[in-house]
Amino acid sequence: MNSFFARVIGSCGGLGFVPAAPGTVTSFAAALVYLFVPALGRIEVMVPLLVVVFLLGLWASGEMEKIYGHDPSQVTVDELAGQWIALLLLPHDWLVALLGFAAFRLFDIVKPEPVDSAQRLPGAWGVMVDDVLAGVYANLSVRIVLWLLPYVSVAVPLQN
């Protein structure tokens, strides 16, 4: 019974079993949920929810490692946590969701330090913490882009 619940939680309801790019699929789904559920923009909702997702993710990914091996691709609860951190306290807007999604996937794939080192933490900690850090990098990056956006002008040629 534990392994069933671990698989449901760890794979984000089965998204981790999508045959191609389960992490990207889960990140995209997490960004859509964030975008379309306005309550997730409130700190008093999102922070406790992230703590619960992180703790359940630690347990579920640890259980799934026993079944599938080290840091299995079927575990995508780490992408859920990281993606939501990437969007934490940012405006609910399609452009922001898209920027947050792209930035999180970039940092999750490229793994700049200390994201790469965190991936080597033992067991479930390595599964979860690297995505949390990638989410922090993504969040800060989106904030910088949003801060710089008013200073960027796009010239559109006028038609005669």
Does some domain include residue 155?
no
Does some domain include residue 57?
yes
CA 10, CA 16: separation in Å to the nearest integer? 8
Contacts 24+ apart (CB under 8 A), 36-40: 38/92, 40/84, 40/87
Work out the percent of the chain whose per-residue pLDDT is above 90.
88
Does some domain include residue 18?
no
pLDDT for position 134: 98
pLDDT tops 80 at residue 158: no
CA distances in angstroms from 122 to 30, 87, 135, 147, listed in the order given? 26, 27, 20, 37
pLDDT tops 90 at residue 6: yes
Domain housing 136: 2-10+29-141
> With bands split at pLDDT 50, 70 and 90, how would you rate the model's confidence at 149?
confident
pLDDT in tens, 35-90: 999 999 999 999 999 999 999 999 999 999 999 988 899 999 999 999 999 999 99
Does some domain include residue 157?
no
Does some domain include residue 118?
yes
Q: How many folded domains does the chain comprise?
A: 1
pLDDT tops 90 at residue 140: yes
> With bands split at pLDDT 50, 70 and 90, how would you rate the model's confidence at 2?
confident
pLDDT tops 90 at residue 160: no
Helix (H, G, I), strand (E, B) or coil at 112: coil
Does some domain include residue 117?
yes
pLDDT in tens, 89-118: 999 999 999 999 999 999 999 999 999 999
